[in-house]
Chain A
Amino acid sequence: GAVVSQHPSRVICKSGTSVKIECRSLDFQATTMFWYRQFPKQSLMLMATSNEGSKATYEQGVEKDKFLINHASLTLSTLTVTSAHPEDSSFYICSANRGGEQFFGPGTRLTVL
């Protein structure tokens, strides 16, 4: 099956700093990738749709200036959490679409102190 990687798997940062999370499709090209957020013991909530070569589409309630998404190539999308605060602590998961099926990355655990 298709493989999607995320880096880093865990990150701890101080409040006010910015954190970049990478999502890569390792063995296929993905024009569309998705970013989800999962709070403990809750479901995945779609944050945004990342489109290669164009602006991301954000879901209602997601601040585009806080969660910057760049999809610079067909195998890489990045999510940058700017000026992170403790309430941004969460599990961030990306997925890439291939053949109508989504393949998920292993997730990134962000802890903001």
Chain B
Amino acid sequence: AQSVSQHNHHVILSEAASLELGCNYSYGGTVNLFWYVQYPGQHLQLLLKYFSGDPLVKGIKGFEAEFIKSKFSFNLRKPSVQWSDTAEYFCAVTLNQAGTALIFGKGTTLSVSS
């Protein structure tokens, strides 16, 4: 069965530090990959997505992610975090076919201190 692993449960950074959150998935077929963010008390928002093409994907708020097919990974990065990036981050995968659900990782809590 498909699964998504997020290795970091809780990451604590100071402002301006660089961020990398790990995400690995287990599925041998063609997948679509997503990172979502959930700010405290708010609903899920899409940060970025990868369907095909350039494996380096740029999203909103300065985030980017790189799809490395050989490693089944889709790590999220940001060169310099801000206090406002404090949130829960979810990696998700879906099969590249219509009508399939997202499978979410367990999430990573990011706490940024000012």
Task: Write the residues of chain A forming the contact surface with B, with a CB cutoff of 8 angstroms.
Answer: 31-32, 34, 36, 41-46, 49, 51, 93, 95, 97, 100-102, 104-107
Contact B43 A105 (CB under 8 A): yes
**Which are the 5 A-B pairs with shortest beta-carbon distances?**
A32-B99, A106-B43, A43-B104, A43-B106, A104-B44
Q: Is the interface of B mostly helix, strand, loop or mixed?
A: loop
Task: Write the residues of chain B forming the contact surface with A, with a CB cutoff of 8 angstroms.
Answer: 32, 43-44, 46, 49, 51, 88, 90, 94, 96, 98-99, 101-107, 109
- 25 sampled A-B residue pairs with Cβ under 8 A: A31-B99, A32-B98, A34-B102, A36-B104, A41-B88, A43-B106, A43-B107, A44-B90, A44-B102, A44-B104, A46-B101, A49-B99, A49-B101, A51-B99, A93-B44, A97-B98, A100-B94, A100-B96, A101-B32, A101-B49, A102-B101, A102-B102, A104-B43, A104-B44, A105-B43
